[in-house]
Amino acid sequence: MESIRQSVPEYEDHADLVADPFFERLGTTRCLSKQILGGRFFFSSQNDALLDLVETTYGGLPGYVLSGDPSEFHVELRLVPRAHRATRTPPLVQMQSGAGLLCGVMDASNYVVLMPAQRKALIVASEDMLIEPYHLRYELIEFAVFALATRGMGLVPLHGACVGRDGRGLLLLGASGSGKSTLALNSLLHGLDFLAEDAVFVQSDDLLATGVPNYLHVRADALPLIEEEYVRRWICSAPVIRRRSGVEKFEIDLRTSLGRLAEAPMILKGAVFLSAQPVDGSNASLKRLPSDKAVARLDADQPYAAGQPGWQAFTRQLVETGVYELRRGRHPQASVDALLPLLA
């Protein structure tokens, strides 16, 4: 903890605090550069632990490149003294905007301020967030990266997974609990490339999709469907995270995995909605949705993206390519087999 405390913004001399009330003269910082989602992100901080967390999150990933020169983004991370709260779990992030700013606030010691027009962000986190950094990673750092990339590169942000092969991808959609992560895992284990589990970002003009293929989250109830003992051991060796909903999942680091990460962004060859209703037999059932139903389904499934620029162009092209509904079979392999013809 000593290395953390060294960088906490704090003045021992009250006169120094009066002279610099906004902590604008705290000294030198270190910087990390990462190619993420097709953009170049520069992370700066005085605190080594915060930069180590950035490295843990984004290190070792393929350097995805979209069309043209990569956009540049700057994210400053600042550590402040331990927050005083009744529970160890931080409050939910509250969103706010105004004066060209986007804000995500947990409490007075943990928040993000985004300046999309300047492609900059400030992340402030309390030192206790580094003890169990799950919420810091996903709700502050990832929030900043995804929001800046969406606004700065004109990407359509989607809640879903993406797998594929040979540069062709399929967008996997559906409500929480529909089996997106399980299907993504089995696709990975059976030779498909993995692009993203929970967040996919797409260029609306050409359906080029990008993501962050670092982690896959799998519930324990998916283990009985995996036949290979060494795969089950690999999953069980991963740490367990607890979602705010209370659901616990294994957090599998795919950068040291048995599968294969997508080497580059993928052109979408369709979208597949996963149905919670399985088929009666062993084989999965895949059917293409009519255009009007496909558009309505996409609008309902992606309420945030549906209000963003580029949504109409994106849905028009995606529906022309193909939007499907998948009812899973008795074994996850049957669902993977049903997807393969779409990638031919």
Q: Answer whether residue 317 shows pLDDT above 50.
A: yes
Q: Answer whether residue 10 shows pLDDT above 70.
A: no
Averaged pLDDT, 159-178: 92
pLDDT band at 212 (very low <50, low <70, confident <90, very high): very high
Q: Which residue has the higher pLDDT, 22 or 114?
A: 114
Q: Which residue has the tokens 């559906």?
A: 174
Q: Answer whether residue 281 shows pLDDT above 70.
A: no
Closest CA to 217 of 243, 189, 190, 256: 243
Average pLDDT, the chain: 90
pLDDT band at 13 (very low <50, low <70, confident <90, very high): low
Averaged pLDDT, 247-260: 89
| DSSP symbols for 256-297 | GSSSEE-SS-EEEEEEEEEESS--SSSS-EEEEPPHHHHHHH
Q: Answer whether residue 309 shows pLDDT above 50.
A: yes
Query: pLDDT > 90: what percent of the chain?
Result: 73
pLDDT band at 26 (very low <50, low <70, confident <90, very high): low
pLDDT band at 20 (very low <50, low <70, confident <90, very high): confident
Q: CA 336 to CA 266: how far, in whole Å?
A: 18
Q: Which helix (H) or strand (E) holds 42?
A: strand 39-45
Averaged pLDDT, 15-40: 81
* Cα end-to-end distance, the chain, whole Å: 53
Contact 142, 123 (CB under 8 A): no
**pLDDT value of position 277:** 76
Listed as own residue / partner, the contacts of 190-193 with beta carbons closer than 8 Å and 24 or more positions apart are: 190/333, 190/336, 191/165, 191/260, 192/163, 192/164, 192/165, 192/336, 192/339, 192/343, 193/163, 193/164, 193/165, 193/260, 193/261, 193/262, 193/263, 193/266
Q: Which helix (H) or strand (E) holds 215?
A: strand 215-218
Q: What is the pLDDT of residues 141-163, one digit of tens each?
A: 999 999 999 999 999 999 999 99
**pLDDT value of position 112:** 98
**pLDDT value of position 4:** 38
Q: Which residue has the higher pLDDT, 170 or 222?
A: 170
Averaged pLDDT, 126-141: 94
**pLDDT value of position 87:** 78
The region of weakest confidence among 30-39, 44-53, 87-96 is 87-96
**pLDDT value of position 84:** 80
Q: Answer whether residue 6 shows pLDDT above 80.
A: no
Q: Answer whether residue 14 shows pLDDT above 70.
A: no
Q: What is the pLDDT of residues 68-77, one digit of tens each?
A: 788 999 999 9
Q: Answer whether residue 327 shows pLDDT above 60.
A: yes
